[in-house]
Amino acid sequence: MATAPVEIDTRVHYLNVSYGIKSWLLTTDHKRIAILYMVAITFFFLVGGVAATLMRIHLIEPNGAIFEPGTYNKLFSTHGIVMVFFFLIPSIPAVLGNFLVPMMVGARDVAFPKLNLLSWYIFMAGGLLVLYSVIWGGVDTGWTFYTPLSTTYLNSNVLSAAIGVFVAGFSSILTGLNFVVTIHKMRAPGMTWFRMPLFLWSIYATSVIQILGTPILAITLALVAVERVFHVGIFDPAVGGDPILFQHMFWFYSHPAVYIMILPSMGVVSELIACFSKKRIFGYSFVAFSSIAIAVISFLVWGHHMFLSGQSVYAGIIFSALSFAVAIPSAIKVFNWTATLYKGSISYDAPMLYALGFIGLFTMGGLTGLFLATLAEDTHLHDTYFVIAHFHYIMVGGAVMGYLGGIHYWWPKITGRLYNDAWARLAAAIVFIGFNLTFFPQYMLGYLGMPRRYAIYSPEFQVLNVMSSAGASILAVGYAIPLVYLIWSMRYGPEAGPNPWGAKGLEWQTPSPPPTENFEQIPIVTEEAYAYGAKEVQVG
């Protein structure tokens, strides 16, 4: 091909320092492990995406176009389990976090590189177990594994799936542990807490949730497995156990887990907004502490998933109030990002488009969360498509957009090459349009009363369902395009240079791709993050 850039090929960096499958599978370099994770979760995203596509095709007709109801149940369960535990939870922390945390603190690697590699193997083991379960026997409980459906009344292969999620949980714990220790102990000289990029604050908050929440999921799933194998257990009404206790324990992890999915994205967005407005983040310490506040409060609101489960009304009232409280730190972030944009010199590169998309979609998802947190309103909306729309606005419109924005932003650092900007902007726009067309009708469907998790629906809902399915196909195109141009760019993209965006942050001060030890010399930090002074504003 044309004039291949030479600098990347002549210099030794983490990508060309050694070759061959073995050099990847036995690597302890955090950057290579990030790439292992990236490949793995892209695969799981495809698996989850295929299940979603099949569901949307099925739902074009009120009586269901293709599947038996039982098969449909297996599809949404597969979709949920794979997307939550094997794509979204590891997405930003394990890929971008692994790549960036050591570089952003100014270290050569994470604190425990071998544990880091181990976490990938644990993750793969869990993932393969889950794939096995959904292919042989299938799982039909949804990603929530509610008892006694998952124990006494089971008719699918939940045991191995639960063990798979259990196993993968440990990889999440190890990742969190590694980041907490790295951020505490391995910051470069001068890198004080309040000079850290906000991405690190949100990764830190995420890690705390991973460390404190995931063990609860582990013990809960272990108890389900015991109950399943021995037909007796602590959630089993036959011995006076209480299935609602399962729900409490499950959501005690899984509500904070939704913040494992969104907090890292918020961190990415802070980086993007600052870089592409060439401005200091407005109210840095508010944004930083709002991450910590979210992590703390998120442990206190789990009961909002159980308003209709028969839990005490007073508990419901308190959970409702606390759920409103968790919206405050989230709103603080949105306000501060918006204020950062104000009078910034904004450039609309592809990563920035994703960031702006994030702000809008996350806001809608968050606000509808408040609808759901209102006790009386949830009575109407619980278990309808409104809930589906709520969390997809946050998890897909928010978290996945943030992930894609981050990938586009740091891609030149990861590969040393630039992708095609026009295609990237086009893809971002398609994702945005496709996303809204898919999920906005679901708000309306839910509001009109269409319940979730059914294979058939009343004919009056068909128009909106067809719109949603049409949107899903557009969304699929939007996700496919980056796959093509990003892979293309790895070979043919022009050389990126160390800092193509004119960004601040230690990761941009080292060549792209970085050498194995990240920096030739451990940097000394003398200024705060986002020191985009007036003279740095670059024109053109």
Partner 1 sequence: MADHHSSVTWSHQFEDAGQQHEAASLGMWVFLATEVMFFGGLFCGYTIYRNQYVAGFVAGSHELNAVIGAINTAVLICSSLSMALAVRAAQLGKRISLVSCLIVTILLGLTFIFVKLYLEWWHDYQHGFAPALNFTFAGPNTRSVELFFCFYFLMTGVHALHMIVGVGVLSVLTVKAWKGRYGPDHFNSVEIAGLYWHFIDIIWIFLFPLLYLIGGRY
Task: Single out the residue of 186, 356, 427, 431 in contact with partner 1 (rule: CB under 8 A).
Answer: 186
What is the number of the residue whose Cβ is closest to ligand HEM? 369
- Report the nearest approach of ligand HEM to the CB of residue 365 (Å): 7
How many residues in the shown chain lie near ligand HEM by CB under 6 A? 25
- Report the nearest approach of partner 1 to the CB of residue 219 (Å): 4
Provide the CB-side half-sphere exposure for 214 (13 A, CA). Answer: 23
Question: Using the rule CB under 5 A, is 382 a contact of Cu ion?
Answer: no
Question: Which token pair is 526?
Answer: 């003398």
- Does residue 204 contact residue 181 with C-beta atoms inside 8 Å? no
Rounded to the nearest 5°, which phi and psi values hold at 530?
A: 60, 40
Question: Using the rule CB under 6 A, is 326 a contact of ligand HEM?
Answer: yes
One character per residue 260-289, x = contact with ligand HEM (rule: CB under 6 A): -xx---------------------------
Which of partner 1, ligand HEM, Cu ion, none sits in contact with 249, Cβ below 5 to 8 A by type? partner 1
Task: Single out the residue of 126, 138, 213, 351 in contact with partner 1 (rule: CB under 8 A).
Answer: 213
- Does residue 180 contact residue 100 with C-beta atoms inside 8 Å? no
Task: Single out the residue of 14, 204, 391, 461 in contact with ligand HEM (rule: CB under 6 A).
Answer: 391
Task: Single out the residue of 119, 207, 247, 323 in contact with ligand HEM (rule: CB under 6 A).
Answer: 323
* Alpha-helix runs per DSSP H in 382-420: 385-392, 401-415
Question: Which token pair is 517?
Answer: 């030890």
List the interface residues with ligand HEM, window 453-482 (CB under 6 A): none
Task: Single out the residue of 46, 522, 525, 528 in contact with partner 1 (rule: CB under 8 A).
Answer: 522
The DSSP string of 244-262 is HHHHHHHHHHHHHHHHHHH
Give, in order, the Cα–Cα distances in Å from 405 to each of 197, 275, 353. Answer: 17, 12, 8
Q: Which stretch binds ligand HEM (CB under 6 A): 12-20, 210-218, 257-265, 491-499?
A: 257-265
Task: Measure the CA dihedral 467/468/473/474, to 10°.
Answer: 80
Instruction: Name the residue with tokens 């440990």.
Output: 170
The closest alpha carbon to 430, from 391, 386, 484, 388, belongs to 484
Which of Cu ion, ligand HEM, partner 1, none sits in contact with 366, Cβ below 5 to 8 A by type? ligand HEM
- Report the nearest approach of ligand HEM to the CB of residue 43 (Å): 22
User: Which C-beta is closer to Cu ion: that of 87 or that of 307?
Assistant: 307
Q: Distance between CA atoms of 256 and 506, rounded to whole angstroms?
A: 30
User: Which C-beta is closer to ligand HEM: that of 363 or that of 512?
Assistant: 363
Question: Using the rule CB under 6 A, is 366 a contact of ligand HEM?
Answer: yes
Question: Using the rule CB under 8 A, is 241 a contact of partner 1?
Answer: yes
Phi-psi group of 418: left, alpha or beta (phi > 0 → left; psi -120 to 50 → alpha; rest → beta): beta
- Report the nearest approach of partner 1 to the CB of residue 181 (Å): 5
H or E segment to which residue 176 belongs: helix 158-185
Question: Which token pair is 218?
Answer: 């582990």
The closest alpha carbon to 362, from 502, 470, 495, 262, belongs to 262
Q: Which stretch binds partner 1 (CB under 8 A): 7-15, 40-48, 84-92, 172-180?
A: 172-180
- What residues make contact with ligand HEM under the rule CB under 6 A? 144, 258-259, 261-262, 304-305, 323, 326-327, 330, 366, 369-370, 372-373, 378, 381-382, 387, 390-391, 394-395, 399
- What residues make contact with Cu ion under the rule CB under 5 A? 255
